[in-house]
Amino acid sequence: MVEKESKKKWNFEGNFHGEQKTASPPITVRGILYMIMRSLNKDDDRPIIPLGHGDPSAFPCFRTSAAAEDAVVDALRSARYNSYSPTVGILPARRAIAGYLSHDLPYNLSPDDVYLTVGCSNAIEVIIEALARPGANILVPRPGFPYYDVRAACSNLEVRHYDLLPDKGWEVDLEAVEALSDENTVAMVIINPGNPCGNVHSPQHLEKIAEKARKLGILVIADEVYEQITFGSTNFVPMAAFAATVPVITLGSISKRWTVPGWRLGWLVTCDPTAALKNSGLIERITECLEVTTDPATFIQAAIPQILEKTKEEFYSNIIAILRRCADICFDRLQEIPCITCPSKPEGSMFLMVKLNLELLDDIGDDMEFCIKLAEEESVVVLPGVAVGMKNWLRVTFACDHSCLEDGLGRMKAFYQRHAKKH
Ligand SMILES: *Cc1c(COP(=O)(O)O)cnc(C)c1O
């Protein structure tokens, strides 16, 4: 008997990444944050300041609305939502979301336009898989949200990155969009309000995006997971307001506005008042893709009508006031650190991007090293820009308690002073 060449005991052993379609393992925000968190010094008695990921739900000041909690309790206690849900989601929830999103639109969405997903992440997964076909490509922003790249790699859909322009308030580089696209480009993604830049696109800019997409014959995927989370001079306008120009797929969830990312309820909405998508086959593909992913918990779906209708205006305005103050503190404190430049003050979401000036630092080679040493020495976690496509920048989350934020930014300043180049 000829001995097998391989010494493998199990067939699943080996370098999975090397055997994947992508050349290198895809970068995820979580993966990089875990790596940085491994550098935290356990002997530091001070609290860890988490400015790396956008989940403020652990802070008491960001607790979700009482109405949302009651809605979930009521749904659960009714004992009517212990079954599997339909693939597309239960009708009352779809209807409620259609109504909620139609408030800001010049036309009404129908419940049939709404598909419920396991958070916005699952909505991203579904739309990417639905659009994937051999040779096709999709345009995504840089800096951006790396989950798009990860999902596209899984679905074998090519990703092309267009830049957001820091000198223009992080507007989309529309010339780059045109230059990057070809007859195989199926869609462009925008994230508004922006993660990681904290920018909010003006209606004038959204209109230009719609016109450009129409000219190129591509769909706009609008990631509006931070919808309504704005606190600057530009108000949120949904991309779907321009759906008469170009079909829009809106993605969202309750994770951010209600600060309940653990509830895992999101949506994918087809905004298609001219019926441009109707005969494209895309709607059928979306349903097919939903059939092979799992559904959000039925009782959370059932809570949606009450969450949307009964949450008081006060809850939203309180969160916005907290975030506005957070953004002010963050912007002001970062300005006091000479090796950091903020191109613009954040007007929405929970993040901002800042540039590192490494020439002013003695022993730090890049953004990754900056973040690792900062975690080690100051127990402050921030995300290196390389994780979102911009090397030697940093993404800072300001959605935390004010005193925690002051503390963390004070430590960042002390870190700079210790590592500043001596003249
Ligand atoms: C948080 C986030 C998501 C994912 O939202 P979930 O509802 O938690 O899955 C998607 N897109 C962006 C830009 C995000 O910041």
- How many secondary structure helices (H) and strands (E) does the chain include? 13, 13
Instruction: Supply the pLDDT for residue 12.
Output: 74
Q: How far is the CA of 102 from the centre of ligand 1 (A)?
A: 21
Q: Which residue has the higher pLDDT, 390 or 422?
A: 390
Tell whether the model's pLDDT for residue 4 goes beyond 70.
no
| List of residues 6+ apart from 235 with CB closer than 8 A | 200
Asked if residue 317 lies in contact with residue 161, where contact means CB atoms within 8 angstroms, the answer is no
Q: How far is the CA of 225 from the centre of ligand 1 (A)?
A: 6
Asked if residue 248 lies in contact with residue 213, where contact means CB atoms within 8 angstroms, the answer is no
- Cα–Cα distance, 153 to 150 (Å, whole number): 5
Mean pLDDT of 336-354: 97
- Please choose from 255, 395, 397 the residue to mutate so as to test ligand 1's pocket, defined by most ligand atoms within 8 A of CB: 255
* Shortest-distance Cα residue to atom 5 of ligand 1: 120
Buried b (16+ CB within 10 A) or exposed e, 335-345: eebebbebbbb
Tell whether the model's pLDDT for residue 221 goes beyond 60.
yes
Tokens of 241: 């307001």
Tell whether the model's pLDDT for residue 359 goes beyond 60.
yes
Instruction: Supply the pLDDT for residue 17.
Output: 57
Tell me the pLDDT of the chain averaged across its residues.
94
Residues 18-37 have pLDDT tens digits of 554 445 666 788 899 999 99
Tokens of 209: 């995006």
- Cα–Cα distance, 73 to 303 (Å, whole number): 8
Residues 65-124 have pLDDT tens digits of 999 999 999 999 999 999 999 999 999 999 999 999 999 999 999 999 999 999 999 999
Tokens of 253: 């969830």
pTM metric for this prediction: 0.95
- Cα–Cα distance, 114 to 23 (Å, whole number): 36
**Ligand 1 lining (C-beta closer than 6 Å):** 54, 119-121, 145, 191, 195, 223, 225, 253, 255, 261, 266
Tokens of 61: 């000041």
Q: Which domains does the chain have, with CATH numbers?
A: 29-62+313-419 (3.90.1150.10), 66-310 (3.40.640.10)
Percent of all residues in the chain with a pLDDT value above 70, rounded to a whole number = 95
Instruction: Supply the pLDDT for residue 14.
Output: 67
Percent of all residues in the chain with a pLDDT value above 90, rounded to a whole number = 91
* Shortest-distance Cα residue to atom 13 of ligand 1: 195
